[in-house]
Amino acid sequence: MFPIQSVWFIRIALIYLMIGSSIGVVLMLNKAFVFSPEIWRLLPLHYSILIWGFFLQLIMGTAYWMFPKFLSEHPRGSIWQVWFLFYSYNLGLILYLITKFILPFESLALLGKFLIFLGLITFMKLAWERVISYNK
C-alpha cells in the first residue's frame, strides 16, 4: 500500500514543479519578447525551486515508498520521523527561498538551511536503517 507520507511528498513536489515551471515560462517569454532584463534575477529561484523543491522531494517520496520494508508492524520505520522530515524540510526550504530571494534576513536563511539539513539527515537515517536491516 502506498504510504500517506509519500503521497504528501509527491503532492508538494508537484506544487513546486508548477511554481518552478511558471517561473521558467516567465523567463522564456522574457527571452522571446524582452520585457525587462531584471526578470533574469528569477533564474536562481527557478532552478532552486525545481531542484530542491521538486526533484529532491519526488525522490524522497518515491524512495520512502519503494525501499525495502522491515518485517514488523511498522514496515517503514518511525512515523514521527517521516513527518519530522516532511515538515522540517519544507519549512526550511520555504524559509531559505524567502530569505534568499525576497527578504534578506541572514539568520532566517541559516535557520532554513539547518532545517533542510535536519530533514535530509533524517531521510538518510530512515533509508539507511531499512537497507541495512534487509540483509539481516
The whole-model pTM stands at 0.86
Q: Which domain holds residue 129?
A: 4-134
Over the stretch 104-119, which tens digit does the pLDDT of each residue have? 888 898 999 999 999 9
Look-up: residue for cell 520555504?
A: 94
| CA 82, chain centre distance (Å) | 13
Percentage of the chain modeled with pLDDT above 90: 59
- The domain tally of the chain equals 1
**Alpha carbon distance 82, 79 (integer Å):** 5
**Alpha carbon distance 103, 75 (integer Å):** 42
Is the pLDDT at 134 greater than 70, yes or no?
Answer: no
Positive or negative, the CA dihedral 13, 14, 15, 16 is positive
| Structure confidence at residue 74 (pLDDT) | 64
| Structure confidence at residue 53 (pLDDT) | 95
- Residue type, position 125, single letter: K
**Alpha carbon distance 102, 36 (integer Å):** 18
pLDDT average, residue stretch 124-129: 87
Over the stretch 78-97, which tens digit does the pLDDT of each residue have? 888 999 999 999 999 999 99
CATH number, domain at 101?
1.20.120
Over the stretch 21-43, which tens digit does the pLDDT of each residue have? 999 999 999 988 988 888 898 89
| Structure confidence at residue 100 (pLDDT) | 84
